[in-house]
Structure 1
Amino acid sequence: MRRNFFGIALLAAGLLITGLSSASHAARSSRSSGGDSSPITVVIDAGHGGHDRGGIPGQRIAEKDMTLDVALRLRNILSANGYHVVMTRSSDVFVPLGGRVAIANSYRNAVFVCIHFNATGRSGASGIETYFYSRDSLPLASAIHYYVTGGAPSANRGVRRRGYYVLRKTAIPAVLVECGFLTNPTEAAYAQSAGYRQKLADEIAAGIRGRNSVGGGFSTTRVATAESIPLQPYIDQTKVAKSERRRSKRSHKKSARKKKSSSKPADSEARTGTSDREG
């Protein structure tokens, strides 16, 4: 009887140790993947392509080449980590915005990551921006932006909410990352470095893995940790756009009223002149 008791006790202890070991391994795996335990599809969208070079007229570096290179590097990283990866384009071809959205919307348990580089007529403009539209896309935008700005030597231009077509029309969490200004000499030099493009891909991948670790607090810290990624504050440019449209309408109405009032004396004079001539 005593032997049976000790045998049962040893068996129970063994099962307990095995269970604790498995739980510990699962926890380590979760931490190493940034809290991402769900197998998802990542739809990677390399901006522009084909006849669409991207950027602004006269820009020396073709944005379409930079976005595709980062996208392909990101695909390799995510595939190696067990993700199912779908590319909207994997070569220098033009894909309409509607086609990109259709590809994204054909997957349910998925996220959409659109890669771009910025451009402007001001060569001094610089920095990283990350855009989202739907509220359920904010954690993904926060995580990606947190890691990319933590790893890139460029300025942090913030997370922004904006109604870009590919963000507005997708039914899954979707973000657009502007990886720096190709019209800025320093950032253009960064972008032309294969090592830097690899770094961008690494950080975007880290953000995708860490999307489930985004918490509720705001932070200005540029270095992220896998266990706790603060929700980033953002600029709502959809409201700014609406406000600008309202101001434009008010301005147009005022201009129309001024034009109408200023035209009355002229009309009166014309009628008077005609009357005089007729009389």
Structure 2
Amino acid sequence: MPAAAQGTPFGHRIHALALYLKSNQLFSYERLQGVFADLFGLQLSQGALMNMFKRTAPVFAAGRDDALAALRGAEVVACDETGMRIEGCNAYQWVFCSSKAVVHTAEFSRAAQVVHDTMAGHEPEVWISDRYSAQQGHGQRHQTCLAHLDRKARFVAENGSDLIGMRVQFWFDRAFRLARDIAALAAATVKNRRRALMRDLDAILASTTDCQLARELLGQIRRARDQILTFCDFAGRVDATNNVSERALRPSVIQRKVTNGYRAKWAADAEAALRTTVDTARLAGRTPFHTILGAVTA
């Protein structure tokens, strides 16, 4: 095949813009076609757009490798996962967040092996996640996401038949206030408030109830008891929630609703590498489009 036939008539900025609109503004192929036609007079087929994405996929491998290296040296890691579709099958978008890196990965599995493969034996000082079993046991200490338990407590407060849900809800309100103010508090104050919270939590857990919803809530909190206030021992370094991971996954959730998934595994892997590069660069203050353009033109 002649060399000219193997190239592309589109420059780096067109490639970067297509990637930016697809991955960051969550455009579908049809909307991308409309944007390029209306703004630039470019009539692009969906096949041409796919070839753009496939052609540029390898350029984000280096950024992903750098982010992985930073993640595997992190002291605090937050992790979450959400469902997705790849090649018509159920799959999962995983995200791993630290202060210096955000790593996305698309896998067909939701098992703990994904964490083992990603972390490559590194055990951070603190692991932040929800109570899903595959998220347990990956750090020296664990911080359970309080937002998940708080949502359950509010549901029980509204739908339960006693006051257990409300008592737990008020307890979480106090815990969130401590998490919000902890960086400005003296160590002795944090210690005293933590002790008071644990004392009151144990009193709630010792309560008896005939409400099934309340019993389930107490059981969840009882199992997570030793992971609930870990953030108190790492003032300003460990969040009480896993919101950072949920925010990192939100674009993937929206895109799932827009496109219903990926037709090929390479596309899911390529977008995960792109998101990894962009989200990690964002931590250093770089904008998504210029990060993508820099990778494409490198």
TM-score range, shorter chain: under 0.3
Q: Give me the TM-score of the superposition, normalised by structure 1.
A: 0.27
* More helix by percentage: 2
TM-score, normalized by length of structure 2?
A: 0.25
Q: Relative contact order (C-alpha < 8 Å, sep 6+): which is higher?
A: 2
